[in-house]
């Protein structure tokens, strides 16, 4: 396992500058195609949904068009459900779980909600199977005014007119072994901080909003996903990734304070899903199905329990 003292870029104890960020970026290799695997899958949905670009990422010599998928018969009298995937591009089931929901389940909610889905927020990172954008920035700590991450800023602009009308926002993520072997050591090296090893939970869990936890809502997601794949247990400290477990498979973060994607609206129901794709007990099919099941459970619960 790498640590901040052994990470191959930078000087231990010193934050990266432009030179180190350029060295890091030069090491990132394109390993899959956003156009072939994601954009074309989105295009195949055009007969059922309205699809439009909501921004473009310019990372010379590359450019990436960002796509949003909307309910075709948008009805302003209906609540809005926002689904986001691929904020961290390497978290594959976040992207393909969003696409699976659109392809297999979205029609069940026609005439009941307006759907707005951004399946792949970070296409450069999707292609490199990485957490950061080319500037070594984490988009999921950058959802704030004047965001330095173009991926975050584009999504914020898309959602801004709808922030107060969203009923549910589900942000689809994964927790992977590479978090511990690559991404957290890289973060420590980038920031000139010591790396403190952690543990990766084996199973699915969700992250609620500590300012609006909605425990029954979070448990509805857990119950639905438990029919598809296993739920992460607490560790010996009663925690998951360093946060207290408040119910089976549930932890809470201050979403807006941390600049997290799930905090970009004022939706009464929000959750970040976390699939564990490296488990020997889960297949890629199960991971995608778990994400779609969580979205369905979130919508079902919110429609059955409208906020007062």
Beta strands in 77-162 (DSSP E): 80-85, 114-118
Which portions of the chain are predicted below pLDDT 70? 1-5
DSSP 170: E
- From the CB of residue 112, how many other CB atoms can be counted at a distance below 10 Å? 14
CA 235/CA 118 separation, integer angstroms = 33
User: Strand pairing partners for 113?
Assistant: none
CA 287/CA 274 separation, integer angstroms = 10
Query: pLDDT tens digit string along 230-244?
Result: 999 999 999 999 999
Cα-based distances in Å from 293 to 14, 32, 136, 164, 298: 43, 26, 32, 25, 9
Taking only Cα atoms into account, the Rg of the chain, rounded to an integer number of angstroms, comes to 19
CA 165/CA 133 separation, integer angstroms = 29
- Output the six-digit token pair for 166: 């969203």
Query: pLDDT tens digit string along 15-61?
Result: 999 999 999 999 999 999 999 999 999 999 999 999 999 999 999 99
Q: Please check whether residue 89 is in contact with residue 127, taking contact to mean a CB–CB distance below 8 angstroms.
A: yes
- Output the six-digit token pair for 86: 């691929």
pLDDT of residue 6: 81
pLDDT of residue 5: 57
**Mind listing the domains of the chain with CATH numbers?**
18-304 (3.40.630.10)
Q: Please check whether residue 115 is in contact with residue 109, taking contact to mean a CB–CB distance below 8 angstroms.
A: yes
Q: What is the pTM of this model?
A: 0.96
User: Strand pairing partners for 253?
Assistant: 209
pLDDT of residue 64: 98
Q: Please check whether residue 7 is in contact with residue 186, taking contact to mean a CB–CB distance below 8 angstroms.
A: yes
pLDDT of residue 308: 82
């Amino acid at each position: 396992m790498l640590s901040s003292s052994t990470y191959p870029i930078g000087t231990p104890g010193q934050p990266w500058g432009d030179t180190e960020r350029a060295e890091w970026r030069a090491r990132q290799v394109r390993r899959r195609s956003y156009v072939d695997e994601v954009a074309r899958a989105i295009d195949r949905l055009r007969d059922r949904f309205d699809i439009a670009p909501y921004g473009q990422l310019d990372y010379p010599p590359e450019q990436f068009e960002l796509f949003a998928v909307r309910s075709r018969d948008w009805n302003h009298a209906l609540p809005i459900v926002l689904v986001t995937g691929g904020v961290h591009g390497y978290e594959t089931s976040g992207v393909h779980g969003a696409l699976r929901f659109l392809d297999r389940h979205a029609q069940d909610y026609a005439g009941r909600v307006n759907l707005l889905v951004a399946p792949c927020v970070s296409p450069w990172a999707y292609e490199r199977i990485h957490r950061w954008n080319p500037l070594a920035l984490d988009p999921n700590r950058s959802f704030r005014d004047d965001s330095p991450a173009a991926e975050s800023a584009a999504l914020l602009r898309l959602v801004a007119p709808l922030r107060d009308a969203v009923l549910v926002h589900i942000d689809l993520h994964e927790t992977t072994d590479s978090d511990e072997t690559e991404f957290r050591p890289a973060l420590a090296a980038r920031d000139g901080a010591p790396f403190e090893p952690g543990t990766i939970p084996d199973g699915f869990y969700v992250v609620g909003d500590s300012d609006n936890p909605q425990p029954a809502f979070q448990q509805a997601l857990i119950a639905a996903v438990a029919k598809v794949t296993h739920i992460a247990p607490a560790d010996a400290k009663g925690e998951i990734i360093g946060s207290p477990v408040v119910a089976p498979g549930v932890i809470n973060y201050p979403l807006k304070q941390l600049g997290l994607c799930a905090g970009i609206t004022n939706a009464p129901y929000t959750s970040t899903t976390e699939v564990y794709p490296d488990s020997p007990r889960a297949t890629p099919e199960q991971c995608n199905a778990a994400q779609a099941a969580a979205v369905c459970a979130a919508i079902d619960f919110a429609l059955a329990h409208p906020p007062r």
